[in-house]
Amino acid sequence: MANTQTILVPLAEGFEEIEAATIVDVLRRAELHVTLAGLQPGPVLGAHGVAFSTDATLDEVDPEKISALVLPGGQPGTDNLLADERILELCRRLGAEEKPTAAICAAPMVLAEAGLLEGRPATSYPSFQNRLAGAQVQSEPRVVRSGSVLTSQGPGTSLEFALTLVAEFKNEETALELGRALLVADPVR
């Protein structure tokens, strides 16, 4: 297991619980290796008072083993991710290596700050779309793919987003099977 590549889902205080839980749950159902990492030690409190246990702290994760990064949104969680230089540097490094980087809700702002959305189609929670500097902001579709970058809009799109990640990280067949098992009307678009 020491050589396992991992999909990193970092949590900052004030994250959106629905997004984080959906992303991690669906990716693990697809048998993908996901590491849920807190910016600091201990449980991380979400925007609505739900505490999540993590697998590790960000400092305990080997950056060389990260194959993809997925950022849940929420506030003030996104602002806390934006304020953490380790997260911005990780976004920049993965972007330079053309490894998948994904964000939902307000979190596409982190990708924009790291320079990953420059000239790319992207989406976010509607009230944050004006903060995606350099992006070609789109209101539709609800999940936008542009090369190795994926963005989505918010809690209501988190299942669609997670299934799109499964299609991206594993394969479309697995995403479709999971979507059907979860009773999703249109599992992967």
Cite the active site residues. Answer: 105
Quick one: which of 118, 120, 121, 123 has its CA closest to 154? 123
How is residue 63 annotated by DSSP? G
Q: Which tokens go with 36?
A: 């849920």
Q: Which residue has the tokens 């990492």?
A: 37
Run of H or E including 129: none
Run of H or E including 36: strand 34-38
**What one-letter code names the amino acid at 50?**
V
The torsion region of residue 74 among left (phi > 0), alpha (psi -120 to 50) and beta comes to left
d(CA 155, CA 148): 22
Tell me what percent of the chain is helix, strand and coil, each rounded to the nearest 5. Answer: 40, 20, 40
